[in-house]
Amino acid sequence: MKNSETNYNIMNNSMMNTNQETWLSVCNKSDLVINSGVCALVDNHQVAIFGVQSDDLKIYAISNYDPIGKAHVLYRGIVGSINDEPVVASPLFKQHFSLTSGQCIEDDSSHVRTFKTRLVESDVQILI
Amino acid sequence: MAETLKIIVVGNGMVGHHFVEQLVTQQHPNINFDITVLAAESRLAYDRVHLSEYFTGKRADDLAMTSEATYDQWRVAFHLNSKVTQIDRAKQIVTTHNGDQYTFDKLILATGSYPFVPPIPGNEQSHCLVYRTIEDLQEIERCAKESRVGVVVGGGLLGLEAANALKEAGLKTHIVEFAPQLMGVQIDSAGGTLLRNKIESLGVEVHTSKATVAIEQGTNHRYRMNFKDGGHLETDLILFSAGIRPYDELADLTGLEKGERGGFAINNQCQTSDPNIYAIGECAAWNNFIFGLVAPGYQMAKITVQKLINPTSDEKFIGADMSTKLKLMGVEVGSIGDAHGNTAGSQSYTYENQPQGIYKKIVVNHDGTKLIGAVLVGDTSDYDSLLQYMLNGIDLPEHAESLILPNVNNGPVLGADALPDSATICSCHNVTKSDIVNTITAGSTELATVKSCTKASTGCGGCAALLKDVFDTAMENLGFEVKKDICEHFAYSRLELFNIVKIEKIETFEDLLQRHGHGLGCDICKPTVASILASLWNDYVLEKNKIPLQDTNDTYLANMQKDGSYSVVPRVPGGEITPDKLIVLGEVAKKYDLYTKITGGQRVDLFGARVDQLPSIWAELIDAGFETGHAYGKAVRTVKSCVGSTWCRYGVQDSVAMAIFIENRYKGIRAPHKIKFAVSGCTRECAEAQSKDIGVIATENGWNLYVCGNGGMRPRHAELFASDLNDDTLILYIDRILSFYINTADRLQRTSVWMENMEGGLDYLRQVVIDDHLGVCDELERQIAHVIANYQCEWKTTINDPEALKRFKPFVNSNETDSTIEFVRERGQIRPAIEKEKSIKQSPHLIPVIEAK
């Protein structure tokens, strides 16, 4: 088992003070639980990261905070699709959030922040 | 920035409450409504329409339409016993009788009305009462106890209700009416005569054309009422119900305009002569008319809410249909539209059946094409149809009289299909047929859900039968019931999926999805398939390819609570636990600072564990000999037991030993839903076995087996399946029943609903399980034996599997613990911190976590 947390530093101060968007490594591809979520701590914020495997592997990152249940739990939801849109169902009250837009399917006024992701070699990175 | 509008609502009767409810539920993004209710009565709104039911056993709580907790939840401030006595229109301040002052931006007057008491000398005496509030009813109840005879002054709709109340209270009852007939507003004289006959046949004496001139001391009874025609009547109690008058004295005090017959004069948008002040309900006069029914008041409330939310709203109050249907003392009376035929050129058809006491009249327009009014006495079964004909201007059939003639030649029936989409089904809440159909289309396929979504039939309830008709027809038209697909990814029911998995020996979700489904799956099909796989093969639920299928509770083998922390429930078979083990539970709870509560299933629940703490908590519990309790799974939960014959003077069998045996036999079995058992040691049934999926009750000769009960939202008593069974037969039957349930039940279907939906019911289940009618018992036993043999304590497996333990690390890139889970202490234990108690707010920088708008 690879000790991933030592490899990926939490953001340093210089990064925090810029308004520039930055790619940040959060984990290794092997840390993902395919078709489910893991959580990364980024400057004290929780980001839920999902690796979804259908024909190819797609990686999505959204805020881990469920604005309806008001708890940091989204990475523990079940991943699925609604009309081909990849979604995660909140483990608290089962509302679905789009993994691409962050929009809550059941409640127009609720959405969560999403992050761009990319895979560099086996590094999972998010844009913040 | 949202604008804040201070709303003061004066009065909390049915209409005032309806206004508040509408305003709260129709939130507007750009306006914050700061609502304060000032009510003169001592309680929040209650159902005045059904007030007389107070005398048939309903109490104040049953009549309540809301609760203080609901208002608190809505953040609506309310002050009871606060009668508004002054309005300063210039400063926009109201003052109550105790001197409290409140400012407003908009003022809503919903002060209602009070009973009119005719100015008869002597009307102020102690047993002269009115019928309007719950306090009035309490007073009537008290005075009735000291009385034998009661008189209601007033033979209108409310008077008859009041007479009914006196009759229910056991008094010899009289009705004294000034006019020559009863219910003169709603029905014609022929109908009035029939109504009078019916009411008199019930033992109520009716005196019409009587004007009371004085109330004096009586000879045989408390009072003597003297009439203008020289007659008199002795009584112990007098109840005035001679119409209502609007509570409008604030108009005189503040210079608001009044209607000709009183009431705050309002325009089409319910504004009084001061545009910042609205009046709704029985205190309002629209075109000089005061509406004494609840439905028009609700409409006014709705229009006012629209106007507040959108000042340019052009919704208008355009008068109201005053049609009424009611049942008074068992006599049905209905009045629709122009009951008296006052419209120029109108004509009528009449049907009277004196032997059966039925009178029906319809009034049609000059050319006989439309219905404009109707009177029904003794039989209102045609009311709904006739009302729809009138409200929707439906063309009358060729022989209009067939609408009210007895159904000898199968007269025309106005089915739900014949109604236009715009047809009003519920006039109290103004719900149309299309509202109902749209609600069903949007996914509410239960009548109860449709009722709660649309509010249809929750006012006077008069449209219940019509609503059901419309609902049933719409369901049929929309083709419901046919579709049993569990979700968009599989066009199969759970039963079909179960059979596919079993026959094709499918072992993974991916395999099943590839062969028989499409898309990625979802939170419905994934756990269902995981449950089927577990039921059939009973593999370890945290095998890598099963993790993504499970609800969080199954994934983390614990129950997620509202703050994202988990609770832990170790198995305590039969509820029997040694002191040493009990101490371990206490020590573990203390060490991890867990909230501890005894469950209904005779175990101990430990709350407040973070994901990362679960493995070490379980390591300690397993060390002490505990096993997982499957409280997180759709699985066998607990076997509750009483102490049984070992200790109890009454016990006839060892219920504890049997409970422990049963629990250990079936523990861990995954099923369509949770399964609960109980074993009682004698017929006193202290273990409450008849409220369980499987209930066992000891007899002198063995065990009685009860099946398919449950508590919860919709309790159902278990049914006696077989009697006086020996131990082996008992277990054999339970094996087969459980296995049959797991094989055939729908997703998330408890045994109770499974039984209710089973064609042939209990007898059929007996045939399958006892007589092996289907020839499947061998297979059922083989399946259950397989899962029993493959039992493992999932927690024991988990803590010995480093790969599985990775899941319990909260962050993939950090060893920190989740600092967002915070507790405060209450009654000596922890509880989740509420938002304002939390030290860590949503941080403002870098990654704003967006909350619901």
Domains, chain B, ordered by start: 3-114+246-309 (3.50.50.60), 117-242 (3.50.50.60), 321-414 (3.30.390.30), 416-481 (1.10.10.1100), 494-550 (no CATH), 634-791 (3.30.413.10)
Asked if B807 and A33 come within 8 Å (Cβ–Cβ), the reply is yes
On chain B, the residues whose CB falls within 8 A of the CB of A110 are: 852-853
d(CA B846, CA B853): 19
Average pLDDT, chain A: 85
B847–A43 CB contact, under 8 Å: yes
DSSP 8-state code for residue B575: G
Do the beta carbons of residue B706 and residue B694 sit within 8 Å?
Answer: yes
Which residues on neighbouring strands pair with residue B350, listed in sequence order? B361
Q: How confident is the model at residue B691 (pLDDT cuts 50, 70, 90)?
A: very high
Instruction: Look at residue B827 and give its three-state secondary structure.
Output: coil
Residue type, B468: K
Residues of B in contact with A112 (CB under 8 A): 849-850
Antiparallel, parallel or unpaired: β B559-560 and B566-568? antiparallel
- Smallest CA–CA distance, residue A119 to chain B, in Å, is 16
Average pLDDT over residues B239-251: 91
Please answer whether residues B641 and B697 qualify as being in contact, where contact means their C-beta atoms are separated by less than 8 angstroms.
no
**Chain B residues 561-600 with a CB less than 8 Å from chain A:** 562-564
Instruction: Give the nearest partner residue to B849 out of A34, A79, A113, using CB atoms.
Output: A113
Q: Which residues of A touch B525 (CB under 8 A)?
A: 80
CA B512 to chain centre: 40
Question: Token digits for A43?
Answer: 């400057």
| Those residues with Cβ within 8 angstroms of residue B467's Cβ, 6 or more apart along the chain or in another chain | B425, B426, B436, B447, B450, B451, B456, B457
pLDDT band at B480 (very low <50, low <70, confident <90, very high): low
Interface of A with B in 53-82 (CB under 8 A): 54, 63, 65, 67-73, 76-82
pLDDT in tens, A24-48: 999 999 999 889 999 999 988 999 9
Residue B413 has pLDDT above 60, yes or no: no
Secondary structure (H, E, C), B760-786 = CHHHHHHHHHCCCCCCCHHHHHHHHHH
Could you tell me which residues come within 8 angstroms of residue B70 by beta carbon, excluding any fewer than 6 positions away? Answer: none
What number is the average pLDDT over the span B684-713? 93
From the list A34, A71, A110, the residue facing B852 with the nearest CB is A110
Beta pairing, strands B77-79 & B31-38: parallel
Tell me what the mean pLDDT of segment B394-418 comes to: 72
Separation of alpha carbons B851 and B630, rounded Å: 34
Specify the length of chain A in residues.
Answer: 128
The answer to whether the beta carbons of residues B575 and B687 sit under 8 Å apart is no
B30 interface with A at CB cutoff 8 Å:
no
**More confidently predicted of B388 and B613:** B613
Q: Examine the pLDDT at B150 and tell me if it is beyond 80.
A: yes
What Cα–Cα distance (Å) separates residue B672 from each residue in B283, B536, B745, B749? 56, 12, 7, 6
Put simply, the chain A residues between 83 and 122 with a CB less than 8 A from any chain B CB are 83-84, 86-87, 89, 91-92, 94, 96, 102, 107, 109-113
Please give the pLDDT value at position A127: 93
Asked if residue B330 has pLDDT above 80, the reply is: no
CA-only gyration radius of chain B, Å: 34
Q: What is the pLDDT of residue A27?
A: 94
What pLDDT sits at residue A19?
58
Using the beta-carbon criterion (under 8 Å), do A5 and B815 form an inter-chain contact?
yes
Please give the annotated binding residues of B for [4Fe-4S] cluster, written as ranges. 642, 648, 682, 686
Give the distance from CA B408 to its chain's centroid.
Answer: 40
In the predicted model, is pLDDT for residue A10 greater than 60? Answer: no
- Report the alpha-carbon distance of residue B457 to residue B468 in Å, rounded: 10
DSSP string, B619-685: HHHHHTT--B--TTSSBEEEEEE---TTT-SS--S-HHHHHHHHHHHHTT-B-SS-EEEEEESSTT-
B847 — contact with chain A (CB < 8 Å)?
yes
Chain A hits for B526, CB-CB cut-off 8 Å, are: 78, 80
Residues annotated in a binding site of B? 642, 648, 682, 686
Check residue B459 and give its pLDDT. 67
Q: How far apart are CA B502 and CA B743, in angstroms?
A: 10
Of the candidates B22, B6, B5, which has an alpha carbon nearest to the alpha carbon of residue B280? Answer: B22
Query: Average pLDDT of chain B?
Result: 88
- Burial class, B568, CB count within 10 angstroms (exposed 0-12 / middle 13-18 / buried 19+): buried
Evaluate if residue B852 carries a pLDDT over 60.
no
Beta strands B636-641 and B675-680, pairing class: parallel
Instruction: Report whether B187 contacts B158 (CB < 8 A).
Output: no
Task: Tell how far CA A110 is from the center of its chain.
Answer: 17
Name the helix (H) or strand (E) containing B588.
helix B579-591
The chain B residue lying nearest A107, using CA atoms, is B852
pLDDT score at A8: 41
Please list every residue in chain B whose beta carbon sits closer than 8 Å to the beta carbon of residue A27: 812-813
Nearest chain A residue to B802 by CA distance is: A1
Q: What is the pLDDT of residue B847?
A: 43
